[in-house]
Amino acid sequence: MRRALLAGGLVVVLGAGVGVWASGDEDVRTPAGSAAARQTSDGGSAPEKGDQAGTGTAAGPTPTRSYALSQAPQTIPAVRAHTPARGPGWRPAAQHRVVVSDADLADEGRLIAGELGMAYAGERDDVRAGDLRLALNDDEGANPESYTMTVRGGRVTVSGPSDAGVFYGTRTLKQEVHGGGTAPEGVVRDEPAKAQRGLMLDIARKHFTADWIEDRIRELGDLKFNQLGLHFSDDQAFRIESDTHPEIVSPQHLTKAQVKGIVDLAASRHITVVPEIDSPGHLGAVLAAHPDLQLRNAQGVPTRGAIDISKDASAALLDDLLDEYAGLFPGGQWHLGGDEYQALTVSDPEASYPQLAAAARERYGSGATVADLATGWLNDRADTVRPHDRTMRAWNDGFFRGTSVKAADDLVVAYWTGKEIGARPPVEYLSAGRKVVNYNDEYLYYVLGEPQTFVYPTGERIYEQWTPRILRGTTPVPARYDDQILGATFAVWCDLANSQTQDQVAAGIRMPLRATVQKLWDPGQPSLTWAQFRALADRLG
């Protein structure tokens, strides 16, 4: 117990009544029992008799050192709670150590040690001035992404119920000391409001280099995002090397070795890469190599991007790809797509595509429709991915009203629009018990070239107007559905791919990403004005 107390940073009493307060770079000696040496339970100084309001001017001839009550750290996203205290705070120094209480935290320890120019000392039980200690706690009921950071007596302890929570604590600390800053004395208790916080990149329409994607991963990690979506197959290109179907891969693509590097880097930042092979629409690049599987209407005219879901060979091709890439992307999330199947955008799908209508009736009965067949396609692809132990999502316009075939119960709705034919409002999914991820195209869609009615989203608008409950347009769903909204993803779509360079994309999404994660970490009214928030972002880099 004494070891634990010392590790927590309480003052050690030495010799004849002299206390040592380790301030990191120097020891400030004060009489034992003085205001500076005695700590309250939250780390604050307890005023002595004769000490005016705890100012540290205790009666007697011996001088003391006093500290102002600390202020909450300024970070993005903002911490949820901070208990202030009086003390010197903490700054990293080359002679300071990063130590861990558990070998599972070695990666987090090495990372923050390198970032702060400190020595990584591994598992240690001893206590030294200036230590940063990372620890796992046994709070089984806590949010696994929560953490507590205690700055006291010239040392820091970051603890959490999982390595992810501890990692987020190190991100807070990194921001606090950025540019020579000081981590304020006291205790931070922090956790996200939403479990899923993502950025999605359309790497199919526009090739992004592996180095650029890795830079985004580092940025996302420091901001406490935990998902990176990769939409790598579309009409324009198929952008990742394939062993099962090399004929579909575009000349400019990522190798599997590059993708593994991306996935590994993301994992080191507690980011899950969420792959998406969109189907049965948006398959133009795949179909260019398999024209026999292209959907054609009654007049024999090919339908852009659409695969003929009445053919067994179509399902076999997609299942080959889903099984192959499940091995490349080991994370627990998968995006099945399902949107904008052009067969369902005509006035009479059954008349326009008689082969689809016949297949629907053969499989599901005399009253079945093309929408039933498309729903069955989505369910079949889910059956392929499910044995890989993934949680699956699909775009909201891949879920259809009034069908006899229902989408699988475990499919999460990726809600992006309310503009599709037969649009269903978000409450319709929520009231049926569906879980939803927010991709609201009104706020969270960065579409290159601003085609149609899209305009580049601004961080200011997200920061001041949007919350995770605003799934469609600008109106929030009732609060009773909040728990069903798992989180949100800011999406970069590259419809007009040459409108911006990848560096311009990085600059354009910089503030929207920061505003988005602020509202996912804490959807309440931010304490900073937009101007203050933007200035903080500029200071933190």
- The segments of the chain whose pLDDT lies below 50 read 1-64
The reply to whether 145 belongs to the active site is: no
Q: Report the residue count for the chain.
A: 541
The average confidence (pLDDT) of the chain is 90
Handedness of CA 89, 95, 101, 102 (dihedral sign): positive
Whole-number CA gyration radius for the chain: 28
What pLDDT is stored for residue 44 in this prediction?
38
Q: What is the pLDDT of residues 273-302, one digit of tens each?
A: 999 999 999 999 999 999 999 999 999 999
What pLDDT is stored for residue 154 in this prediction?
95
What pLDDT is stored for residue 179 in this prediction?
96
Q: What is the pLDDT of residues 498-536, one digit of tens each?
A: 999 999 999 999 999 999 999 999 999 999 999 999 999
Identify the CA nearest to 216 among candidates 281, 141, 269. Answer: 269
What pLDDT is stored for residue 66 in this prediction?
87
Q: What is the pLDDT of residues 238-250, one digit of tens each?
A: 999 999 999 999 9
What pLDDT is stored for residue 65 in this prediction?
67
Taking the C-alpha atoms of residue 28 and residue 189, their distance in angstroms, rounded to an integer, is 28
The residue from 340, 362, 428, 464 that is catalytic is: 340
**Which positions ≥6 away from 291 have C-beta within 8 Å?**
none
What pLDDT is stored for residue 33 in this prediction?
30
Pairing assessment for the beta strands 294-296 and 186-190 based on DSSP bridges:
unpaired
What pLDDT is stored for residue 56 in this prediction?
36
Contact 384, 391 (CB under 8 A): no
Contact 77, 517 (CB under 8 A): yes
